[in-house]
A and B are shown apart, each in its own frame.
Chain A
Amino acid sequence: MDFSANGKSFPPYEFRVERGKIKEFADALGDRNPVYHDPESPAAKAAGGILAPPTLLRTFLYETRDAVEALKVEDWSYIVHGEQEFEYFAPIHAGDVLTAQDRIVSMTEKESRRAGKLQIAVIETTFHNQRGEKVQVARRTLIETGKRIAD
């Protein structure tokens, strides 16, 4: 990894959280909670509309590869997605238009007996809605291992 990428911010990108995507995502997790499916359900009415499931926004992080490419990984078969974290500040509803911005917030190294020298990068994405409210922060930890990890 290229440690000079640490601290870099990348151009914001915008997307709409569509009701059909929420339904498709919930279905893929086998989640029949009406708050993701039926705007007329008591659950959705109590929530102010169809809600985004807790891990949905990870799917929009494939919209841009700017931050990931800035890490200058040589061989992706040595990369492990170690951890994914979300912080929730306000609800996200179907129809919201979110603006996301990626920043590389940390790059560190450590030794692992099992996987050799590890290089660890954390990409933080901050999401604001169409009213300018910060709704969520997602942090993905990518680990480049010194050798391939066998099962």
Chain B
Amino acid sequence: MTKPLYFDALKVGDEAPKLVCGPLTRTDFVRYAGASHDFNPNHHDEVYAQKSGNKSVFGMGMLAGGYCARQLTDWLGDGVLRRLRIRFASRFWPDDVLTCTAKITGKTEQANGGLVECEFMSVNQAGEVIIRGDATAILPRS
């Protein structure tokens, strides 16, 4: 998206278009490991992960959080975020499907637009929360 949404076009309660990611594969985790330098073996080494008591490798919190950030920038625009907080609630696994949702929870008017507050979430196919978070974006007036 090139153009940000306009501050006055959004209201509290407005929701972002859903973003569905997955079914996720081990290859998705390995690609993110290489791109992000997160080489915790629990995310790419099945033997290690199982020896550590996990049923398999599991995804990086920042991969799920990155999907949420992608949803926010797709929705609100490029370069408009002022703050982003990602809280890691549960783990996710190969074959999981993550669905990201986001909604506007507050607005503060400023001279040429304003700040919008959002809450966002990522849940797996069973509805279990994987990520919770909140963000602030600055948007122009139309």
Hey, which bits of chain A sit against chain B, CB under 8 A? 21, 24-25, 27-31, 33, 35, 42-43, 46-47, 51, 53-55, 58-60, 62, 77, 80-88, 91, 148, 150-151
Contacts and interface: CB of A to CB of B under 8 A. Distances in A.
B74 interface: yes
Contact of B67 (A29, A58, A82, A148): A29
Contact of B84 (A27, A35, A82, A85): A85
Nearest to B74: A33
B23 to A, nearest CB: 13
For this complex, into which size category does the number of interface residues on chain B fall?
Answer: 35 or more
Interface in B46-88: 52-55, 61-63, 65-67, 69-70, 72-74, 78-79, 81-88
A43 B1 contact: yes
B79 A51 contact: yes
B87 A83 contact: yes
Give the interface SS of chain A, mostly helix, strand, loop or mixed: mixed
Contacts, number: 106
28 contacts: A24-B34, A27-B31, A28-B28, A28-B31, A28-B36, A29-B32, A29-B69, A29-B70, A33-B1, A33-B73, A33-B74, A43-B1, A46-B2, A46-B3, A46-B78, A47-B78, A51-B78, A54-B81, A55-B69, A59-B36, A81-B61, A83-B85, A84-B65, A84-B85, A85-B83, A85-B85, A87-B82, A88-B84
A77 B78 contact: no
Given A29-B66, A53-B66, A85-B83, A77 B31 contact: no
Interface of B: 1-3, 21, 28, 31-32, 34-39, 52-55, 61-63, 65-67, 69-70, 72-74, 78-79, 81-88, 90-91
A43 B3 CA distance: 8
A91 to B, nearest CB: 5
A53 B79 CA distance: 9
A47 B79 contact: yes
Give the interface SS of chain B, mostly helix, strand, loop or mixed: mixed
Contacts of B66: 28-29, 53, 55
Given A55-B65, A55-B69, A28 B84 contact: no
**A54, A80, A87, A88: most-surrounded residue (chain B CB, <10 A):** A54
Contacts of B54: 151
B83 A88 contact: yes
A31 B70 contact: yes
B80 to A, nearest CB: 9
**B69, B74, B82: most-surrounded residue (chain A CB, <10 A):** B69
A38 to B, nearest CB: 12
Contacts of A83: 85-88
